[in-house]
Structure 1
């Protein structure tokens, strides 16, 4: 890591030799001086002395050695006086799994998240000493029984479909609570996870492996244990905080929800003494649903909805049916739903913090379709962008796609992440290399424009959004004659078998 930080900068190389020598590690300083071939005239005096007399029997060297020994013994006394008891991982070693192959990844997805309602998530990067940010090296996912350490370095891009499954089953699953650490950075330092663990569990975390080279393989056993504990302790801290709040009747879950959604917590007013009848004798009583605003069936393209933060998954499904659906971001204020309803004449879909009877996204979709009496046809399916809700697309040929790809290769920025199959492709899966389904693009309920509407030189739509051509697998470009670019966000779609699979799968019984 020192070598990476210093690089080819001669001034930094000289400074390294000088600083190591000043610290008292003369032999180490000499090693770096030889390694970087630093000119001898730039060596510190004690380094030149060691080079000329390796036995160290000159008076100046003996005096220096004596001084160092006194300093080391003083340091040893300080270290012995400051020994700290650290928080340990309570799980046995065989409950911590290093996922470093595709086979192990598949096994983790098959069994690791079954019957799980809470996880702790943490990541590790190789420390960075400059403006360059290193790639993600590890991702730790802890359940109450196990910790799974995903080796990003070894897995990399070997199995993109498995990363999509992880996103679908975990990160897009509202039934699993995800706990993570938000670093609090300031010029004077600040509260850390170790401090929080110390307050809640009685002992701090041992952070000695924090600045490990997390990209080097194989990982040490201490590194795997450190990484596992960083994720598992999040669940332990959560349980302690929740229990303490419940003991004093503090609304822990309500406060957590309000913090996530930036809503203010309303303090409860003190109860008035008297025999006044409670306004709500049964707070869990289901509120009756009002009648549908549509007396007769309406086509999907005529309905406009807005989904709150608890219904983001439903919002994406509604878009796949061609229904104009705005979706609140995780940290948006819920009052934004009201603004959408007033400004854009949208119906508000909301869900309370407590679970409703319908938690399955597929069931929620059918419930909304039935309640609003929406007619969904094949022409409506995938007529809107899954990512941004736009319905303006530019039809471009394969040759134009190849030109855009050439232009985009000049840009070193990585393509946007593709976590969900239906978001990544819309009409076809990245894994589909069989014969494409019959084209349906000509009859879709969208606004379709010719490729003159894009800026090929800048690889942008006419609205200034980068066309995400690098997110399309190369075999797909060579397979299909035409592609469709969303003007609102630049996402690229194409016709394929995914369309027919959706009709016969999750939209079966919905599409007429």
Structure 2
């Protein structure tokens, strides 16, 4: 899904994740956007954090410079606002103390996804601009991976690492497809494109939406369920009056101590401050005042939050042991074989007639270029994906060799197995799917014509049956398997069925739009 396409996605119950009206680009501390950022931070008890930097070559000796910091502020349960801080334009010392106060504020729960690396790069970036101490801590902090584990009743320990991607978690919990195509785009170029801004904003906003799902689950299933059962009007009349009501007083007495404390909170506005004092929390005085967390959020922080702490060893960039020169067993120095040296396609491909092939190109797209597989299928090219969702390297190699396919990947680490795959591995350099498609077509000199377009099943890579189905045949084939929209019954259109998975396709508006798209992308002559 493109960045434009992910502006509005249904989150259920009429809610959408649409940052287009709530994105504020902050490039100066003198701007109205910066004033609004300060205001939003004073009213937000939950924020989502993310950062972007220019892609760098592997094993570079220094940390990359962070160019954009995204801060999504939850104003209330229904509204959030996103700020994009342009760190390439803002004088970093002018916002250093503000960010440090935010990272350490006990009144703000910080959300992130594997944010330690972002913090490390942020700290390095600010130190390079004269902020000597950088950032070494974020608390309270809650990782989205931890939220996912708790929602699935998994115990997270130091030895148990959650490997689900943010895209996977978004799709499972929110029902949206989070595109990562622009993650490695050039974030140093200005102005940023509209797609880049939207992509960056949604990366931070989705953290808030995932936390909302988690908070709702905690409230429904956790220690507060008895409290929720009470009518909300009861909370406004005070504890003394509630106890006089015979119908609900026994229910209150049966609640836990924590629930009863919440009743007390309804009668006094000083409760949160007293609670902090009783905990012995040392609250640092920041340059701005924030509202204390409400009781239920405070309980979530107590029960689930953690902190990020950078150590001295974290601040030292790790260099690859394989880089540069090394000593051989004979005592001579020899140069390591660089990835760049085996990055180009040398061929011939396994389908080449000279190698006994059938002349039909066949590819295997690993998980890093899975979207490319669908594009290749749309132009009629045989493009498979790994058998398993998280294949081991050996599985990929075996599948490519067995099916005589060229393995397409963006993972440079896979190229070290080039000695096993020979002429059956190629590293895709482009980032976007359309560009990747053109790159593969040109590299392997594929011949694409209009008749090939939409001739394969985009779902399973199967071929379509040679003869189209009539509407009656399509209805029969779809029974108990697929729903055909009623609006198609009165139209004279042809249906096609995949020979492998039996999926039905028809030549509707979506089909014709797709055909035209690939005619344009592949520059196919229709004359």
User: How high is the TM-score relative to the length of structure 1?
Assistant: 0.40
Structure number with the bigger relative contact order (C-alpha 8 A, sep ≥ 6) is: 2
User: How high is the TM-score relative to the length of structure 2?
Assistant: 0.39
- Who wins on radius of gyration, i.e. which is larger? 1
